[in-house]
């Protein structure tokens, strides 16, 4: 059986690509913005704040949670979400290292 496409890339390359999914949709960026601003919130607040349907917000929250960038606590019938500080710091480090590379060639 052949290699999966992700297996031909380095761990760092796969990690950057995975983390980039967080920014692959403006709704996820808006959710992250809101979580930083509010420091905690419930899903219903996000529906009102962002203006998308509950199901759509839930899909984006699930993606962010799968990436471990957010975490949720259940209190009664509400789920409170916040930024996973450890994962966010790790993501910033990995992406900053990638973006801080200097171009050392003359091209075009």
Please state, in angstroms and as integers, the Cα–Cα distance from residue 69 to each residue in 55, 65, 81, 82, following that order.
Answer: 19, 6, 10, 9
Are 42 and 49 contacting, i.e. CB atoms less than 8 angstroms apart?
no
pLDDT score recorded for residue 77 = 85
What pLDDT, in 10s, does the model give residues 5-57? 788 999 999 999 999 999 999 999 999 999 999 877 788 789 998 999 999 99
Question: Are 44 and 57 spatial neighbours (Cβ–Cβ below 8 Å)?
Answer: no
Return the CATH fold of 11-85: Arc Repressor Mutant, subunit A (1.10.10)
User: What are the residue boundaries of the structural domains of the chain, listed by start?
Assistant: 11-85
| d(C-alpha 40, C-alpha 99), whole Å | 29
Residues 35/70, Cβ–Cβ less than 8 Å? yes
């Amino acid at each position: 059986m052949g290699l999966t496409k992700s297996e031909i890339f380095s761990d760092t390359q796969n990690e950057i690509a995975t983390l980039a999914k967080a920014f692959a949709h403006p709704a996820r960026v808006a959710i992250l913005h809101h979580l930083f601003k509010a420091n905690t919130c419930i899903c219903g607040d996000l529906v009102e704040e962002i203006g998308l349907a509950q199901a759509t917000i839930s899909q984006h929250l699930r993606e962010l949670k799968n990436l471990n960038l957010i975490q949720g606590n259940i209190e009664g019938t509400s789920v409170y979400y916040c930024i996973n500080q450890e994962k966010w710091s790790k993501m910033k480090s990995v992406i900053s290292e990638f973006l801080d590379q200097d171009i050392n060639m003359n091209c075009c």
